């Protein structure tokens, strides 16, 4: 009962926050709601017995990726011009059509996966150890591929970000 | 009238314990503002605040009264939502991390299996305080301070996590109580000296303490991200910084210096709280001494130091620790 309550409460917050991400006209406020939505998803993981996934969600998504998003928006210095533009783009004429259509899909989705009253959330606790064993056991290939991809991204970022003048100076002195 | 079943009493007792820890931490953090000024003055051969009450001990209440009655002004050009949110995050983010710090056996607000990761999560959230504070102030100095603070914190958090993974590898658990109990034979500062050094550096940088206080460097940025703040909101940033100092000191104590464990078995008749408090107080004093002793490096030097020196050290430390742990386990089996 307690876990179900926690689950639905966090899910409701996640939904409201996600809607506000889309409807908010201010980019930084929208990102703030996205952070709240991610924290709510982390709470859902907690309530379902996956504390490791929950903390990783908070560290990686809320604590690192969203920080970079907000960072970029901060540097862009968008100001109130963007607010007005967003408000014009977010006219009811633009969003009502897609919303009604996707609402139809949503009803269909609920109908397909509709839970009976006997359906309960099954809680199995998945700690760091289980995740680690799974990652470096059956999924080791995926981990290696992902790490290679990240290495390539890192090398590219270093190449783009390097100070060309400084490197040239170093060569002249050498 | 059977409300007070043993379960309910256990819940109430743990809530009371958590509240005691919370208020204790806030009080210590607020009191540090006075202690720091007195200590800095002592080391710089002057008096410091010594007028209010005996030894100036009433300086803290005086400051608090002043701050509560000061006009808490919100400038008209700021972004109100984030401007008001930032100080709250600054104070609560690191304060919540205390939930996982074991003070003495049984005295921990939440004995999570993923305790250490919870601290990283909260430290990651705490970045938003300086970001939102800097951005919402709508002021170029504040924005520059916010950008510096964000880049610095994100960079140093990368290897702050890595620096502690050696401790986790030896213990085999993220649980803080397990980590303390694993240090019964030997404090982790000895096998993990590199981890300790890099964590201490990262801790100073993440709390924006001098010498890593470029985000609020008075000379080039007025007061950095909290330039536009006054009254109680500024006070929350201020106390938030001291909470960070207390948190990092207590984490160093717990992770590397055996937490509540005495240095020698002979001394175990002294209560464990004494050891925890003494060690934490020692590292708080080191924080203050570092502020008094070291000048502030340039901003690019701070970033260089983090990425080019500390990050490789922590990586080597992690790989070496993991190799030794595996090797010892193998020979034991």
Output the CA–CA distances (angstroms, integers) from residue A2 to A41, A50, A64, B115, B324, in the order listed: 17, 16, 31, 22, 44
The band of B226, judged by pLDDT with boundaries at 50, 70 and 90, is confident
Neighbouring CB atoms inside 10 A of A8's CB total: 13
| Alpha carbon of A132: minimum distance to chain B alpha carbons (Å) | 12
Determine the Cα–Cα distance for residues B264 and B287; give it in Å rounded to an integer.
26
B199-233: burial string, b at 16+ Cβ within 10 Å, e else: bbbbbbbbbbbbebbbbbbeeebbbbbbbbbbbeb
pLDDT for the residue numbered A174: 44
pLDDT for the residue numbered A121: 66
Does the distance separating the beta carbons of B112 and A67 come in below 8 Å? no
Contact predicate B247/B284, CB 8 Å: no
- Whether A104 has a pLDDT exceeding 90, the answer reads yes
Give CA B301 to chain center in angstroms: 23
Question: Residue A63: closest CA among chain B residues belongs to which residue?
Answer: B124
Residue B96: name the closest of B18, B39, B159 by CA.
B18
Question: Cβ contacts (< 8 Å) between B81 and chain A: which residues?
Answer: 29, 32
Determine the Cα–Cα distance for residues B74 and B136; give it in Å rounded to an integer.
11
DSSP state of B291: H
Determine the Cα–Cα distance for residues A143 and A137; give it in Å rounded to an integer.
10
Whether residue B211 has a cis bond before it, omega within 30° of 0? yes
Question: Cβ contacts (< 8 Å) between B154 and chain A: which residues?
Answer: 64, 67-68, 71
- Count of CB contacts below 8 A, A vs B? 77
Does the distance separating the beta carbons of B134 and A74 come in below 8 Å? yes
**Segment A131-167, tens digit of pLDDT:** 888 888 889 999 999 999 999 998 998 888 777 666 5
Does the distance separating the beta carbons of A51 and B131 come in below 8 Å? no
Tokens 């990783």 belong to: A56
Does the distance separating the beta carbons of A59 and B124 come in below 8 Å? yes
| φ, ψ at A53 (rounded to 5°) | -60, -40
Does the distance separating the beta carbons of B124 and A63 come in below 8 Å? yes
**Which tokens belong to B247?**
């948190």
pLDDT for the residue numbered B333: 61
Is the CB of residue B11 less than 8 Å away from at least one CB of chain A? no
Which residue did the predictor score with more confidence, B36 or A4? B36
Contact predicate A54/A43, CB 8 Å: yes
pLDDT for the residue numbered A81: 75
Residue B132: name the closest of B121, B119, B142 by CA.
B142
Residue B128: name the closest of A50, A34, A44, A77 by CA.
A34
**Segment B263-301, tens digit of pLDDT:** 777 777 778 888 888 888 999 998 888 888 888 888 888
Determine the Cα–Cα distance for residues B107 and B112; give it in Å rounded to an integer.
13
Q: Report the residue from A71, A77, A127 with minimal CB separation from B113.
A: A127
Interface test with B, best of A67, A147, A157 (most B CBs within 10 A): A67
- Whether A33 has a pLDDT exceeding 50, the answer reads yes
Determine the Cα–Cα distance for residues B239 and B216; give it in Å rounded to an integer.
15
Does the distance separating the beta carbons of B135 and A74 come in below 8 Å? yes
Q: Report the residue from A52, A56, A74 with minimal CB separation from B131.
A: A74
The band of B237, judged by pLDDT with boundaries at 50, 70 and 90, is confident
The interface predicted TM-score of the complex, written ipTM, equals 0.81
Q: Report the residue from B114, B128, B161 with minimal CB separation from A128.
A: B114
Is the CB of residue B127 less than 8 Å away from at least one CB of chain A? yes
Residue B78: name the closest of B87, B70, B69 by CA.
B87
| Alpha carbon of B132: minimum distance to chain A alpha carbons (Å) | 9
pLDDT for the residue numbered A141: 92
Which residue did the predictor score with more confidence, B28 or A88? B28
pLDDT for the residue numbered A148: 94
The pLDDT > 90 percentage for chain B reads: 3
The pTM of this model reads 0.85
**Segment B163-206, tens digit of pLDDT:** 888 888 888 888 888 888 888 878 888 888 888 889 988 888 88
Which residue did the predictor score with more confidence, B305 or B210? B305
Is the CB of residue B134 less than 8 Å away from at least one CB of chain A? yes
Choice among A49-53, B33-37, B138-142 with the minimum mean pLDDT: B138-142
Give helix B231-256 / helix B140-171 axis angle, nearest 10°: 20
Determine the Cα–Cα distance for residues B291 and B35; give it in Å rounded to an integer.
13
Q: What is the mean pLDDT of residues B76-96?
A: 84
pLDDT for the residue numbered A164: 66
Question: Residue B118: closest CA among chain A residues belongs to which residue?
Answer: A55
Question: Cβ contacts (< 8 Å) between B135 and chain A: which residues?
Answer: 28, 70, 74
pLDDT for the residue numbered B39: 85
Is the CB of residue B150 less than 8 Å away from at least one CB of chain A? yes
- Whether B217 has a pLDDT exceeding 80, the answer reads no
DSSP state of B297: P
Q: What is the mean pLDDT of residues B149-170?
A: 86
| Alpha carbon of B118: minimum distance to chain A alpha carbons (Å) | 6
Chain A residues within 8 A (CB-CB) of chain B? 26, 28-29, 32, 35, 39, 42, 51-52, 54-56, 58-59, 62-64, 67-68, 70-71, 74-75, 77, 127-128
| Alpha carbon of B53: minimum distance to chain A alpha carbons (Å) | 43
Is the CB of residue B255 less than 8 Å away from at least one CB of chain A? no
């Amino acid at each position: 009962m307690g876990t179900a309550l926690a689950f639905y409460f966090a899910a409701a917050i996640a939904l409201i926050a996600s809607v506000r991400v889309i409807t908010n006209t201010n980019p930084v406020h929208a990102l703030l709601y996205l952070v709240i939505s991610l924290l709510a998803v982390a709470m859902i993981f907690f309530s379902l017995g996956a504390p490791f996934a929950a903390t990783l969600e908070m560290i990686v998504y809320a604590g690192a990726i969203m920080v970079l998003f907000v960072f970029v928006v901060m540097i862009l210095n968008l100001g109130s011009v963007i607010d007005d533009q967003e408000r014009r783009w977010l006219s009811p004429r633009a969003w009502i059509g897609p919303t009604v259509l996707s609402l139809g899909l949503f009803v269909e989705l609920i109908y397909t996966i509709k839970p009976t009253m006997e359906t309960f959330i099954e809680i199995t606790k998945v700690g760091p150890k289980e995740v680690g064993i799974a990652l470096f056991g059956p999924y080791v290939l995926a981990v290696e591929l992902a790490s290679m991809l990240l290495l390539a991204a890192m090398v590219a970022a270093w190449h783009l970000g390097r100070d060309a003048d400084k490197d040239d100076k170093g060569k002249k002195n050498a | 009238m059977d409300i007070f079943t043993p379960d309910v009493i256990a819940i109430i007792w743990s809530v009371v314990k958590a509240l005691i820890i919370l208020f204790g931490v806030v009080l210590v953090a607020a009191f540090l503002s006075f202690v720091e000024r007195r200590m800095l003055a002592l080391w710089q051969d002057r008096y410091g605040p010594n007028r209010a009450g005996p030894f100036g001990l009433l300086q803290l209440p005086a400051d608090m009264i002043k701050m509560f009655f000061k006009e808490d002004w919100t400038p008209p050009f700021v972004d109100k939502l984030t401007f008001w949110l930032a100080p709250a995050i600054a104070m609560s983010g690191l304060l919540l991390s205390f939930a996982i710090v074991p003070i003495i056996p049984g005295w921990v607000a939440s004995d999570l299996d993923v305790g250490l990761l919870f601290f990283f999560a909260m430290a990651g959230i705490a970045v938003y305080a300086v970001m939102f504070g800097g951005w919402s102030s709508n002021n170029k100095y504040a924005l520059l301070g916010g950008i510096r603070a964000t880049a610095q914190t994100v960079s140093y958090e990368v290897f702050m996590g890595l620096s502690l993974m050696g401790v986790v590898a030896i213990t085999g658990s993220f649980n803080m109580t397990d980590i303390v109990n694993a240090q019964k034979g030997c404090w982790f500062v000895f096998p993990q000296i590199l981890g300790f050094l890099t964590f201490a550096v990262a801790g100073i940088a993440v709390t924006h303490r001098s010498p890593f206080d470029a985000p609020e460097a008075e000379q080039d940025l007025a007061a950095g991200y909290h330039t536009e703040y006054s009254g109680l909101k500024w006070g929350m940033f201020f106390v938030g910084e001291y909470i960070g100092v207390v948190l990092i000191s207590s984490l160093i104590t717990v992770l590397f210096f055996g937490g509540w464990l005495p240095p020698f078995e002979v001394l175990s008749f002294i209560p464990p709280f004494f050891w925890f408090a003494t060690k934490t107080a020692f590292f708080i004093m080191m924080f203050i001494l570092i502020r008094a002793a070291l000048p502030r490096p340039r901003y690019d030097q701070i970033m260089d130091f983090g990425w080019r020196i500390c990050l490789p050290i922590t990586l080597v430390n992690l790989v070496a620790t993991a190799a030794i742990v595996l090797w010892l386990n193998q020979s034991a089996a």
